[in-house]
Amino acid sequence: MASPTLTPASTVSVSKLPPTGSGGDVTGSLAYGVYLTDNFINGAVDQVAYTYQKLGGDILDLELKAEQVYNAYEEAVLEYSYLLNIHQAKNVMSNVLGGTTGSFDQDGQLKEGSATYDKLKDKNISLRYLRFDFSYARRIAEGVSEEVGMGGTQPVYSASFSVTQGKQDYDLQLILSGASHTNSDNGNSDPVPFAGLVQGQRVLVQRVYYKTPEASWRFYGYYGGINTVGDLSSYGQYSDDSTFELVPAWQNKSQAMAYENAIYTRNSHYSYELKGGKLRIFPRPSKAGKMWVDFSIPTDTWVEHSTGSMVGVEGINNMNTLPFENIPYQNINSIGKHWIRRFALALSKEMLGMTRSKFGSIPIPNADVTLNGDALISAGKEEQQALRDELKETLDELTYGKLIEGDAAVIEQGKAVFEKVPSLIYSG
């Protein structure tokens, strides 16, 4: 029996893909309606003709509607925007953590009335280049510097307390809570900067110390050397044979830092033990006096510092709160549009396969026509994944870190070339 002759006129389905689309039908056919510009509509119309030709619509009927191709094209643009935004999120996340964010609707568009609407509404966030500023690293450094007492944004307070002769144990937590409640320093009744801040909260004691007399002699000279100090409990004076040597400023600074450390570690008469908020002084004080304590008030990590110097508790905390819109279609270049056309074709192929897979074969006079639904579904899904992988691999090579590595490699190769270029010889 001869094979049947099939032409587009032998309609398999009531609905079949036309050779071209219609611009007037695009807007009303889209499931999401994210892209409604003329440029997008023209692209969706062209995609119908592209799909018709690529799937053999001039030979066999394609059980697809133009509306399905329009939606496939929109889905492809959204997928492209998604992958590019994921890529950019990897690039900028460390720079924007804690920064301001906005609110977006289900289509990824900035909502009017959101917190940052006025700042971002006319800025086209998807096309902005974010300034590189090490903000995440800076926040890590702030936390470390606060812990070691070398800066940071968390305030460090100082308060004095009275030392009683023979008394070895002191409740610093009670002392500081009382000073915070009364707004009065325990030692001199002056107002305290931490008034109302220590309300049953544990404080973090950083240093306990006492002060030397208002005047004491210190010098760094030939005879005295470094870490020399006069009497810690009385006034001193320069000796007749004191020698002063001129030294660079950096040396003076280095000596001063070493000297200050020695005052509290080597020259101090006292040491202390701190357990919780309980302070024990060694040895027992032989007379009454005053000591000072430097401390900070640990805050809830979810709460802003009282100074307001740390920004970001209510800012960007993960990829979901990045102020990224869908990439405007008119700003997608030829590279992106070619990827979109291929991805939309793969989606259309999968949809055609889903339609044909409902029936394994279609009867015709004296024979059956076997449909390729399963093959189309498999091919469509594989092509989609291949396109995703292709785009991801390309974007991974274009991360800011990779670009820096590439620039560094170019510089090194340039240096290697110049090293082999003979230098000119000048005479005279």
- The model's pLDDT over 227-239, given as tens digits with 9 standing for 90+, comes to 444 433 443 444 4
Residue 291 contacts residue 272 (beta carbons within 8 Å): no
pLDDT at residue 267 is higher than 90 = no
Residues 87-140 have pLDDT tens digits of 999 998 888 887 777 677 766 677 777 666 777 777 777 777 777 777 778 778
Higher pLDDT among residues 201 and 293, named by residue: 293
Average pLDDT in the chain: 80
Q: Which residues of 135-150 are buried (b: 16+ CB within 10 A; e: fewer)?
A: beeebeebeeebeeee
Residues 310-340 have pLDDT tens digits of 444 567 888 888 888 889 999 999 999 999 9
Closest CA relative to residue 232, chosen from 264, 256, 255? 264
Lowest mean pLDDT among 8-12, 276-280, 341-345, 367-371: 8-12
Dist. CA 49–CA 44, nearest whole Å: 9
Mean per-residue pLDDT, 25-48: 95
Report the 10 Å Cβ neighbour count for 373. 18
The residue behind tokens 């490699």 is: 409
Closest CA relative to residue 66, chosen from 13, 15, 32, 31? 15
Dist. CA 164–CA 172, nearest whole Å: 14
pTM value is 0.68
Question: What are φ and ψ of residue 260, in 5° steps?
Answer: -60, -40
Residues 347-383 have pLDDT tens digits of 999 999 998 888 766 665 666 666 788 999 999 999 9
Dist. CA 239–CA 160, nearest whole Å: 34
Distances (CA, A) of 77 to 11, 298, 326, 328, 342: 32, 48, 9, 9, 11
Higher pLDDT among residues 37 and 217, named by residue: 37
